[in-house]
Amino acid sequence: MENQLTSYLTQLLDTSTNQKGLEWLNKQVEKINTEGAPSKFFLAFSQASRFFKKEKLNLTKEKLESANEFVSGFQPQHWDELQTARTVLMLSYPQEKEAWFAAMNQLFETADMHEHQALFAALPLMPFQKDLIPRAIDGLRTNISLVFDAIALNNPFPAQYFPEANWNQMVLKAIFMQRPLYRIQGLEERRNPALAAIARDFAHERWAAGRDVMPEIWRLVAPFMNEMYLEDLKKTLATKDEPQVLAALLTLRESAYLPGKELLETYPDQVATLDMDALAWERIGSEFQRTRV
């Protein structure tokens, strides 16, 4: 499986403009495979930046679809060439558990920004995934958004493995850092009452400080709608700010809470124009990212 995955990733890098890089990569892979000395691996991992650019991969539709066959939720359309090359190197390191962790721990602990990005985004492709949960949780303590995004966004790992408390901390930090929530995999499925309450507290804190609230956070409260949340949504509707209003209406539409439905009926025109949930939230989220100061 690792070998198939490695050759799949290598194929993604096989463009006419980068034959030199590919040649270098193949040579390094062979060295790493046969020599087993971590120093060669570390050096190649760093020096990959000399051979590969941070340009997004150019994927065909077929290639994109087959990504999901390797790992459910794997989205290489968000990957760049450099991190792909680094992932090939990482997967080429002999996967004998103790030695593998010794090398990877050292790599994680000494990584620069883009190396961290590569490593964390590749968590769902790594072996021994359950043992990597603490590493992923620790990685989220970064204040570098590039690194945070590598774990939190377009990555199936957190939704699959994080205990509820850590999941909630990640989503809250994403809100705090104003990251696009619609890019968090499993966001809807892993909503929970505690997270809804945290999101509400956060909104109130923002309001108290005279600041706007990121509209996407209301998506977290829909399944737990009650009188309290309804008051928040009324306040959100009163902003008359379009993304805010749309977010509130989407939340009311998804919820089965009766007083909420009644409120929804007073906005027939806007409701008629709403997209399907996922699409509408994506629109709200990307619009917010585009326009925020």
For residue 23, give Cα distances in angstroms to 10, 26, 39, 169, 204.
11, 5, 20, 42, 55
Among 25, 79, 114, 190, binds other proteins (CB under 8 A): 114
Per CB under 8 A, which region of 3-11, 42-50, 163-171, 235-243 contacts other proteins? Answer: 42-50
- Per CB under 8 A, 42 contacts other proteins: yes
Among 86, 179, 190, 219, binds other proteins (CB under 8 A): 179
Among 67, 111, 247, 248, binds other proteins (CB under 8 A): 111
Number of residues this chain uses to bind other proteins (CB under 8 A): 32
- d(CA 183, CA 134) in angstroms, rounded, equals 22
CB nearer to other proteins: pick between 128 and 176:
176
Least distance from C-beta 211 to other proteins, angstroms?
6
CB nearer to other proteins: pick between 58 and 106:
106
Among 28, 52, 104, 116, binds other proteins (CB under 8 A): 116
CB nearer to other proteins: pick between 38 and 76:
38
- d(CA 60, CA 77) in angstroms, rounded, equals 10
Least distance from C-beta 153 to other proteins, angstroms?
11
Closest CA to 212 of 201, 203, 221: 203
CB nearer to other proteins: pick between 12 and 44:
44
Closest CA to 76 of 13, 164, 141: 13
Site track for other proteins across 206-235, x = CB under 8 A = x--xxx------------------------
Among 26, 110, 231, 242, binds other proteins (CB under 8 A): 110
Among 33, 47, 72, 105, binds other proteins (CB under 8 A): 47
